[in-house]
Amino acid sequence: MNKLIINRRRFLAGSAALGSGLMVSGCNQFDFLGQRDNPVRNVIEQANVLTYKAQRALIGDQVLAREYGQSEIRQGMKPNGSTEPTTPEYMFLRQANFEPYRLTIKGMVDREVSFSLAELRNMPARTQITRHDCVEGWSCIAKWTGTPLGPLLDQAGVKSTARFAVYHCYDNIQRTLSGDILYYTSSDLVDAYHPQSILSYGLNDQPLPVSNGAPIRLRIERALGYKQPKYLHTIELVDDLSPFGQGKGGYWEDVGYDWYGGI
């Protein structure tokens, strides 16, 4: 499987010649979106400014993302972004089979709560077959199993003044001279409480692999790939995104991707 993880730029450049459907294990592509200077992509990015308000107005708050049938899973889930975190915290958990792992919910809540993997697995589970769309030009249909986030937020008691959930991850997506940059993203509370927003620990009827975000990866099904945080350890309720990273609400958002990231 690791052989399939190849440099994206090279991949996009060479995809036509290589018959690349096979190289991403069958995930569909919309290659032109991967090219930064493509006029179609630019139009799409500008349209994103309008997307948040327009989508919320048009689709309402709790409309479900499309779910697919078993026979529509035609490929494995292509790993992308971080696939093997090397922070000491993560490497420690991984070698301990994630036994000491805890998911923490903190910030603007009545009480900070945390859950072990065993506790999360024993909670009511939801399984959904959905399509993951990465802005870089590919989609995969995969089956995700996990426990809905909403009831856990209720256990913590989200304060009425909280507006966003910030999702903190273990992986060092980027290393700089001034230290590692850890992956994070965020959503509003509508997406956090959405019935398909699950803390997933299962992928295609198997335990979630490290390359796809073990032990816990949040699915936010109406949003693009970069809004699906892998290696999640803390959910922080806040009323302001500016203190985190560069202040745009996520690692990719900080480099210019749309915050809402709706599909």
Size of the site for ligand MTE (CB under 6 A): 19
Q: Is the dihedral of CA 164, 170, 171, 172 positive or negative?
A: positive
User: Which residue, 78 or 194, is less far from Mo ion as judged by CB?
Assistant: 78
Contacts of ligand MTE in 174-213 (CB under 6 A): 183, 212-213
Among 29, 75, 80, 204, binds ligand MTE (CB under 6 A): 80
CB atoms near residue 252 (< 10 Å): 22
Among 27, 103, 134, 216, binds Mo ion (CB under 5 A): 134
Whole-angstrom Cα distance, residue 112 to residue 159?
12
Q: How far is the CB of 5 from ligand MTE (least distance, A)?
A: 9
Contacts of ligand MTE in 214-233 (CB under 6 A): 225-226, 228-231
Nearest to 227 by CA among 153, 167, 174: 167
Residue 231 binding partner per list ligand MTE, Mo ion, none, with a CB distance cut-off of 5 to 8 Å that depends on partner kind: ligand MTE
Contact code string over 13-52 relative to Mo ion, x by CB under 5 A:
----------------------------------------
* Site for ligand MTE contains 77 (CB under 6 A): yes
Structure tokens at 212: 């796809």
State whether residue 32 is helix, strand or coil. helix
* Site for Mo ion contains 79 (CB under 5 A): no
Whole-angstrom Cα distance, residue 52 to residue 211?
30
> Is the Cβ–Cβ distance between 238 and 166 less than 8 Å?
yes
Residue 229 binding partner per list Mo ion, ligand MTE, none, with a CB distance cut-off of 5 to 8 Å that depends on partner kind: ligand MTE
Query: Binding segment for Mo ion among 131-139, 141-149, 157-165, 238-246 (CB under 5 A)?
Result: 131-139
Phi, psi of 171 (to 5 degrees): -85, 145
Among 81, 245, 249, 262, binds ligand MTE (CB under 6 A): 81
Q: How far is the CB of 238 from ligand MTE (least distance, A)?
A: 19
CB atoms near residue 13 (< 10 Å): 14
**Which one-letter amino acid corresponds to residue 23?**
M
Give the rounded distance of the alpha carbon of 249 from its chain centre. Answer: 13
Whole-angstrom Cα distance, residue 135 to residue 220?
15
Binding site for ligand MTE (CB under 6 A): 77-82, 134, 169, 171, 173, 183, 212-213, 225-226, 228-231
